[in-house]
Amino acid sequence: MSRLTKLRTKMTSEKFDAFLCMRPENRRYLSGFTGSAGMLLITQDQAFLLTDFRYLEQAAAQAPEFQVVKIGNEPFKTLAELDQGIEVLGFEGDFVTFEEYGKLEQNFARTRLVSRPELVNHLRSVKEPSEIELIREAVRIADDAFSEILQFISVGQTEAEIALHLEFSMRQAGASGPSFDFIAASGWRSAMPHGVASSKKVQQGEFLTLDYGAIYQGYCSDITRTVCLGEPDEKQRALYDTVLAANRAGIAAVRPGLTGKEVDAAARKLIEDAGYGEYFGHGLGHSVGLAIHEGPNLSPREERVLEPGMVVTVEPGIYLPDYGGVRIEDMVLVTEQGCEVLTKAPKDLIIIN
Ligand SMILES: [Mn+2]
């Protein structure tokens, strides 16, 4: 079934006459259009792609199922004029701004506006085989960059230099860009789960956490490895072993039918039993695709059930303030029986001398 057909089936059960799609990942997913501006209006028998002068040719080439409509200064007026018979319009309330909502209300005065962002978001969570191939390639590029960065890292380099080198090698290997602002956090900074690369120099005896990924033909990868500069002491080794055991337990738990909450609990238990429960303050993972963070998540609050074709991260961590932290993140594909680990970079503790 085509993506548009799947959306229309959902629209029927929601009793929507039309759906307005504005989130860039959803717009790309449904239409194929990769431009930075535009919106989709989908009814049961028509599909419009509204975009501005800059993208008219590109839109026509990339989105053959859509009728391309040029927008000018009043995009929502143009939008409302396309179909006067819409009584119920679904839209993405998690993306539309307050200003845009005002314009929607103004132009769709007789239409009921219903926010249902999950309509397209959920379609995206089970990946098609062609999407999985692109994700595999994005992961392969990140894996290769890891073996390369191991040759590059040495005491005295800044986190920013290391992050730049990672990005450079991934772009050279065909990535269109980084999938987010890379985290390169060393020493005390590794206690910050989202310590974006800074001008701090890496020092002997420190942990260095690298959390990074590539975009390949629109699809993201996300991987974290923690290495040690010089021989680890006993505490560092114990910390690392605990996180690695939690990562393995999380991966072992991933299978269809389990909720994100259940998988999270399987990994979290190991960290709690080791006495570090309060230092693992984030969820175990998230889905990845056209966006770096998608649903469902693996977290204590996630009730959604895993299905074959979903791609999730398993990324437990322990962060000790003023000391440092460890996180190990893999991407896994949910299969009929369990899961397949996509990331291949080694995860036994790597010591850089
Ligand atoms: Mn992640």
Spell out the long-range contacts of 231-237 with Cβ–Cβ below 8 A and sequence spacing 24 or more: 231/351, 232/349, 232/351, 233/205, 236/207, 236/324, 237/349
Kindly give the distance from the C-alpha atom of residue 202 to the centroid of ligand 1, in angstroms, as a whole number: 23
Kindly give the distance from the C-alpha atom of residue 214 to the centroid of ligand 1, in angstroms, as a whole number: 12
Kindly give the distance from the C-alpha atom of residue 138 to the centroid of ligand 1, in angstroms, as a whole number: 14
Q: Which amino acid is at 215?
A: I
Token pair listed for 65: 């199922």
H or E, element range at 41? strand 39-43
- pLDDT for the residue numbered 1: 82
Cα(330)–Cα(62) distance, integer angstroms:
32
For 74, list phi and psi in degrees, rounded to 5.
-125, 75
User: Half-sphere exposure of 206 toward its Cβ, with a 13 Å CA cutoff?
Assistant: 25
Kindly give the distance from the C-alpha atom of residue 180 to the centroid of ligand 1, in angstroms, as a whole number: 10
Residue 78 and residue 72 in contact, taking contact as beta carbons nearer than 8 Å: yes
Kindly give the distance from the C-alpha atom of residue 213 to the centroid of ligand 1, in angstroms, as a whole number: 9
- Measured in whole angstroms, the distance separating CA 55 from the mean position of its chain's CA atoms is 26
- pLDDT for the residue numbered 134: 98
Q: Where are the domains of the chain?
A: 3-124, 129-352
- pLDDT for the residue numbered 207: 97
- pLDDT for the residue numbered 113: 98
Cα(201)–Cα(128) distance, integer angstroms:
42
Tens-binned pLDDT, residue by residue, of the chain (353 aa): 899 999 999 999 999 999 999 999 999 999 999 999 999 999 999 999 999 999 999 999 999 999 999 999 999 999 999 999 999 999 999 999 999 999 999 999 999 999 999 999 999 999 999 999 999 999 999 999 999 999 999 999 999 999 999 999 999 999 999 999 999 999 999 999 989 999 999 999 999 999 999 999 999 999 999 999 999 999 999 999 999 999 999 999 999 999 999 999 999 999 999 999 999 999 999 999 999 999 999 999 999 999 999 999 999 999 999 999 999 999 999 999 999 999 999 999 999 99
Kindly give the distance from the C-alpha atom of residue 328 to the centroid of ligand 1, in angstroms, as a whole number: 10
Kindly give the distance from the C-alpha atom of residue 65 to the centroid of ligand 1, in angstroms, as a whole number: 34
Kindly give the distance from the C-alpha atom of residue 322 to the centroid of ligand 1, in angstroms, as a whole number: 23
- pLDDT for the residue numbered 24: 97
Kindly give the distance from the C-alpha atom of residue 5 to the centroid of ligand 1, in angstroms, as a whole number: 31
Residue 227 and residue 352 in contact, taking contact as beta carbons nearer than 8 Å: yes
Contacts of 231 (CB under 8 A, 6+ apart): 351
Kindly give the distance from the C-alpha atom of residue 282 to the centroid of ligand 1, in angstroms, as a whole number: 11
Kindly give the distance from the C-alpha atom of residue 50 to the centroid of ligand 1, in angstroms, as a whole number: 33
CATH top-level class for 3-124? alpha beta
Which residues, in sequence order, are bridge partners of residue 19?
42, 90
Kindly give the distance from the C-alpha atom of residue 313 to the centroid of ligand 1, in angstroms, as a whole number: 6
Listed in sequence order, the DSSP H helices in the chain are: 3-14, 24-31, 56-62, 75-82, 98-107, 118-125, 129-152, 159-172, 234-253, 260-273
Kindly give the distance from the C-alpha atom of residue 353 to the centroid of ligand 1, in angstroms, as a whole number: 28
For 97, list phi and psi in degrees, rounded to 5.
-80, 165
Spell out the long-range contacts of 340-343 with Cβ–Cβ below 8 A and sequence spacing 24 or more: 341/251, 342/135, 342/136, 342/139, 342/311, 343/139, 343/142, 343/143, 343/221, 343/223
CATH number of 129-352: 3.90.230.10
Kindly give the distance from the C-alpha atom of residue 2 to the centroid of ligand 1, in angstroms, as a whole number: 29
Kindly give the distance from the C-alpha atom of residue 211 to the centroid of ligand 1, in angstroms, as a whole number: 8
